[in-house]
Homo-oligomer: A and B are copies of this chain.
Amino acid sequence: MSEREYPTALGASTKDTITLLGHDLADEVMGEVGFGELAFWLATQRRPAPGEVRVFEAVLAALADHGFTPTAIVARLTHLSAPDSVQGVLAAGLLGGGSRFLGVTEDCGRFLHRHLPDPPPHDDAGWDACALRIVRAQREAGRFVPGLGHHVHKDGDPRTRRLFTIAGEEGLLGPHLQLFAAIGRVHPEVLGKRLPLNGAGVCGAALADLGLPLELLRGFALLARTAGLIGQLAEELRSPVANEIFLSVDRHTGSVDPAPYRP
């Protein structure tokens, strides 16, 4: 292998064979490996155990579609404007997957990882003490705790409860989820009110516990959302609303005088 060779463990082929991740694509992957399992495997180059796949796919389900979010509206409007390019519709939708609407998953996973105690506590009391220090430090610094609070599900996000259950069933309640649960228990003592642990946050904790690369947590949210955007596009093709959304803006547009920028 020369120094200029580009090595890869992903897809490769010769005249008679195609391999993916070191396995024969046709005989060992197709029909044998589910899509969520494959996505996990591609990202980590390690085949996940069935329990890991179940948790991972539960996360993807939680993040796939949240109705008429900005990303969904963007995808539908892009289809209205440029129906010739499915790839453009999906790409435009994904470009909204940034810091505000999809970023909590990544932010929460990274936050928990950065604050994991070493060695890990032996019991809930230990986790609670650790969580208390963290929440206090955030409050003193005037910063939010990622994953805490939700503007709609104020009394509890049903996805959070459910993902803890699933992870518990599969023996995958790792340190990120445990720290997140402890934050959920202790924060009222510091903040003076009870906030829900939100679904985007618990997804980040679960993905981190699965050992997925922290730099890619947003990527998994985007993968889930790609499936959701295809759903949005399919629904738009069947019963279009994008033109009505456009017109509802257009109807309420008003011309005003220019206002020079002041830095």
Contacts and interface: CB of A to CB of B under 8 A. Distances in A.
Interface in A210-254: 211-216, 218-220, 222-224, 226-228, 230-235, 237-239, 241-242, 244-246, 248-250, 252-254
A173 interface: no
Interface string A6-33: 1111111111111111101111011101
Nearest to A170: B31
A73 interface: yes
A19 B213 contact: no
A139 interface: no
B61 A35 contact: yes
Given A35-B60, A67-B8, A74-B74, A22 B258 contact: yes
A258 B11 CA distance: 11
Interface residues of A, number: 139
A182 B177 CA distance: 52
Contact of A159 (B26, B73, B74): B26
A166 interface: yes
Most chain B CB inside 10 Å of its own CB: which residue of A11, A27, A213, A231:
A231
A121 interface: no
Contacts of A248: 4, 248-249
A235 B1 contact: no
B62 A70 contact: no
Contacts of A2: 252
Contacts of A218: 86-87
A82 interface: yes
A22 B257 contact: yes
- Return the 4 tightest CB-CB contacts between A and B, nearest first: A82-B98, A42-B231, A35-B36, A81-B96
26 contacts: A4-B248, A8-B256, A9-B255, A9-B256, A11-B65, A15-B153, A25-B61, A25-B158, A31-B61, A35-B61, A43-B230, A43-B231, A45-B258, A46-B260, A70-B81, A74-B77, A78-B95, A80-B96, A87-B88, A87-B222, A88-B96, A89-B95, A91-B94, A215-B237, A219-B230, A245-B249
